[in-house]
Amino acid sequence: MPRNIEIKASVEHLDGIENKVALIAAEGPITLTQDDTFFRCDSGRLKLRSFSDTEGELIFYRRADENGPKESFYLCSPTTAPTTLRESLSLAYGQVGRVQKRRVVYIVGRARIHLDKVKELGYFVELEVVLTEEESAKSGQSEAYELMEYLGIKPSQLVKDAYVDLINQSDG
């Protein structure tokens, strides 16, 4: 199963960070509108990410809810029918929540840097350092820390929870 090291940080705005990322990025910016629906899942998280009525992906992932760079295992399955797949999964498993965001993606080396504007929550930066199959998590973690330092992200800005959890906490 593919894996990466990831962090999520809450930020007040994205402009200064985006300027820094653009200076070192090999690819980007790629702007995406994402509508993620989360479903009940006891062994991790299951979400359907919809980009449009005809493009999406079902994503299963498992990671610890903790601050700092953490290992995440994931599997993505593309779909051309996200609307009917969302309906099927909702009927079968039940929805946990929905997250809508505008994401700007940059690629820096083997890291994906996401600059997110999340509806109901605000602005966030996500770093995902992709690991090779035999690589230890520590090398990816040190790379994530280096990127955090370059971008000026402080440990106090790190968020351990998924966006869906943050939205559900603010609703309750």
Question: Torsion angle of alpha carbons 53, 36, 61, 87, nearest 10°?
Answer: -60
What is the extent of the structural domain holding 139? Answer: 3-171
Nearest to 26 by CA among 126, 105, 102: 105
For 65-102, write each residue's pLDDT tens digit.
888 899 999 999 999 999 999 999 999 999 999 999 99
Element (H, E) at 62: strand 55-63
Element (H, E) at 83: helix 82-93
For 15-69, write each residue's pLDDT tens digit.
999 999 999 999 999 999 999 999 999 999 999 999 999 999 999 999 988 888 9
CATH of the domain at 140: 2.40.320.10
Element (H, E) at 146: helix 137-151
**pTM of the predicted model as reported, rounded to 2 decimal places:** 0.94
* 120 secondary structure, DSSP code: T
Specify the number of domains making up the chain: 1
66: Cα separation from own chain's centroid = 14
First-to-last CA distance in the chain?
34
C-alpha 22/C-alpha 107 separation (Å) is 9
